[in-house]
């Protein structure tokens, strides 16, 4: 595989990937040139360079970003990632994908994304808190419950969202839980949020199995990226009777054709720090995992992992994109020719933003729902969205990614034309 291992920088530029995907869908819509240009360009971009006191007494300067892609449907929504390879093009692409994801799910949001170029694994808790609070201060001019609502992403978690919420609240002089989602429940987080993305991936995988005439229970599953999304997907699919044959993290992967117990692997990871060496398995690289024989392949790490260089060797029958942008446009063409069923990211991993929306609504109303209610609402939305995208794809004789983008771009364009161009 020519693209980088998970955690590394993809060979393919994510922004160029996002543009190619958009253009393929936009070509099928009667959009005026100016409207098309407006839909594709980010509405607002912020780059900040800020100092942080390190534990050894030095001061280090970090670079962070926050991009608002679209505000047509409502305030913007999107995660914040901490990764050494974060750059503006990556954040732009992720913000655009969030716009289409929110539109596809009929959520009243536009897309946003943020990030800081750093390696959180090398920072102490104190350094991480100081970096987060300073970054939150820098972007506080463009975030807020009615403007832009961040959430966790790669390298960030509930605690980091809590620090951002607290920092923003200190600035405005009152507690503002709705400024972020993915928070701990003790400060306004939602039941079911931690598992939401992985649960959504499991639901659409099950729906895809039904659509393709594949027995879901007993199907073989390989998961690249055993983080929050990948691990939850693995054990929820295992609970449904699927046979999880391989998982991986940034150090590498493990394989057992007879199947693994993902919860046992999670316990091993807590003890050792990684999946490598789990008893009864064979070691594989992240590149090799993608090419293992399986029914479902779940790329749940970073963008640009399935490329024109390895797509012809993919043996999975169905790819369910747990990550954002894991499949390049060149790979999409090869996979479609080979009859591989690809469930695109803006559909497959939308469970996280759906339950983030539920969390935001609960915070604004100060009225909280049970986990059973949340999971039921999530399942209904995911099932309806998959059915709609699959029906349009069949009707138009197009792939699921183009179908999903048609839904999303059309909804944003219709909203823009209904609102009108100011002034």
CATH of the domain at 163: 3.40.50.10860
DSSP, collapsed to helix, strand or coil, labels residue 373 as: helix
Q: Does a structural domain hold residue 361?
A: no
Statement to judge: residues 185 and 204 lie in one domain: no
Q: Does a structural domain hold residue 289?
A: yes
Chain segment 229-265, per-residue pLDDT in tens: 999 999 999 999 999 999 999 999 999 999 999 999 9
Residue 3 has pLDDT above 60, yes or no: no
Determine the Cα–Cα distance for residues 289 and 293; give it in Å rounded to an integer. 9
How many structural domains is the chain composed of? 2
Query: Of 189, 211, 241, which residue is a domain's last?
Result: 189
Query: Which pTM value belongs to this model?
Result: 0.95
Statement to judge: residues 47 and 137 lie in one domain: yes
Chain segment 133-155, per-residue pLDDT in tens: 999 999 999 999 999 999 999 99
Residue 209 has pLDDT above 80, yes or no: yes
Statement to judge: residues 204 and 184 lie in one domain: no
Statement to judge: residues 163 and 209 lie in one domain: no
Chain segment 57-67, per-residue pLDDT in tens: 999 999 999 99
Statement to judge: residues 208 and 256 lie in one domain: yes
Statement to judge: residues 261 and 341 lie in one domain: yes
Residue 347's nearest CA partner among 413, 410, 415, 401 is: 401
Q: Does a structural domain hold residue 273?
A: yes
Give yes or no: 270 in active site. no
Chain segment 330-363, per-residue pLDDT in tens: 999 999 999 999 999 999 999 999 999 999 999 9
Q: Does a structural domain hold residue 16?
A: no
Average pLDDT over residues 295-311: 96
- Note the pLDDT of residue 9: 57
Statement to judge: residues 280 and 208 lie in one domain: yes
- Note the pLDDT of residue 2: 30
Number of helices (H), then strands (E), in the chain: 14, 12
Average pLDDT over residues 89-112: 98
The 44-53 sheet, strands edge to edge: 44-53, 59-68, 110-116, 76-82, 148-152
Residue 4 has pLDDT above 90, yes or no: no
Residue 5 has pLDDT above 50, yes or no: no
What residues have CB less than 8 Å from 108, skipping those under 6 apart? 73, 74, 75, 102, 357
Statement to judge: residues 202 and 93 lie in one domain: no
Query: Of 348, 364, 383, which residue is a domain's last?
Result: 348
Q: Does a structural domain hold residue 214?
A: yes
H or E segment to which residue 114 belongs? strand 110-116
CATH of the domain at 258: 3.40.50.720
| CA neighbours closer than 13 Å in the CB half-sphere of residue 329 | 15
Query: Of 348, 379, 412, which residue is a domain's last?
Result: 348
Q: Which domain holds residue 172?
A: 42-189
Q: Considering 9, 11, 32, 113, which one is annotated as catalytic?
A: 113
Statement to judge: residues 160 and 146 lie in one domain: yes
Determine the Cα–Cα distance for residues 20 and 58; give it in Å rounded to an integer. 43
Angstrom distances, CA of residue 26 to CA of 94, 194, 212, 368: 18, 34, 27, 39
Percent of the chain with pLDDT over 70: 97
- Note the pLDDT of residue 11: 64
């Amino acid at each position: 595989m020519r693209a980088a291992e998970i955690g590394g920088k993809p060979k393919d530029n994510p922004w160029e990937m996002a543009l190619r995907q958009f253009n393929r869908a936009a070509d099928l819509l009667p959009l005026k040139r100016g409207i098309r240009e407006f839909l594709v360009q980010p509405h607002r971009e912020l780059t900040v360079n800020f100092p942080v006191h390190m534990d050894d007494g030095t001061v280090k300067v970090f670079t962070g970003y926050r991009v608002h892609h679209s505000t047509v449907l409502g305030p913007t929504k999107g995660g914040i990632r901490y990764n050494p390879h974060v750059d503006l093009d990556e954040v732009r692409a992720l913000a655009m994908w969030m716009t289409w994801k929110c539109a596809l799910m009929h959520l009243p949001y536009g897309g946003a994304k943020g990030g800081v170029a750093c390696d959180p694994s090398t920072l102490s808790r104190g350094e991480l808190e100081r970096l987060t609070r300073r970054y939150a201060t820098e972007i506080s001019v463009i975030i807020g419950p009615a403007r832009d609502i961040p959430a966790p992403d790669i390298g960030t978690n509930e605690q980091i969202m809590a620090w951002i919420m607290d920092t923003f609240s200190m600035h405005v002089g009152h507690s503002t839980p709705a400024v972020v989602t993915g928070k701990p429940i003790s400060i306004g987080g939602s039941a079911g949020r931690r598992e939401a993305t992985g649960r959504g991936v499991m639901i659409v995988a099950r729906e895809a199995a039904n659509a393709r005439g594949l027995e879901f229970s007993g199907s073989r599953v390989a998961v690249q990226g055993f983080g929050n999304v990948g691990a939850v997907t693995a054990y929820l699919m295992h609970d449904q009777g699927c046979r999880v044959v391989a998982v991986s993290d940034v150090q590498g992967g493990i394989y057992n054709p007879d199947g693994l117990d993902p919860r046992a692997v999670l316990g091993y990871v807590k003890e050792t720090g990684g999946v490598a060496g789990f008893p009864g398995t064979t070691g594989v690289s992240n590149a090799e995992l993608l090419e293992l024989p399986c029914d479902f392949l779940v790329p749940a790490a970073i963008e640009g992992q399935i490329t024109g260089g390895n797509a012809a060797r993919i043996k999975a029958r169905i790819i369910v994109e747990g990550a954002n942008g894991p499949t390049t446009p060149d790979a999409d063409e090869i996979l479609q020719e080979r009859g591989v069923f690809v469930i695109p990211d803006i559909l497959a991993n939308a469970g996280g933003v759906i339950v983030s929306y539920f969390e935001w609504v609960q915070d604004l109303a100060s009225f909280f729902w049970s986990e059973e209610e949340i999971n039921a609402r999530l399942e209904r939305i995911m099932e309806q969205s998959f059915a709609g995208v699959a029906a349009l794809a069949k009707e138009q004789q197009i792939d699921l990614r183009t179908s999903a983008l048609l839904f999303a771009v059309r909804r944003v364009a219709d909203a823009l034309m209904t609102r009108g161009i100011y002034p």
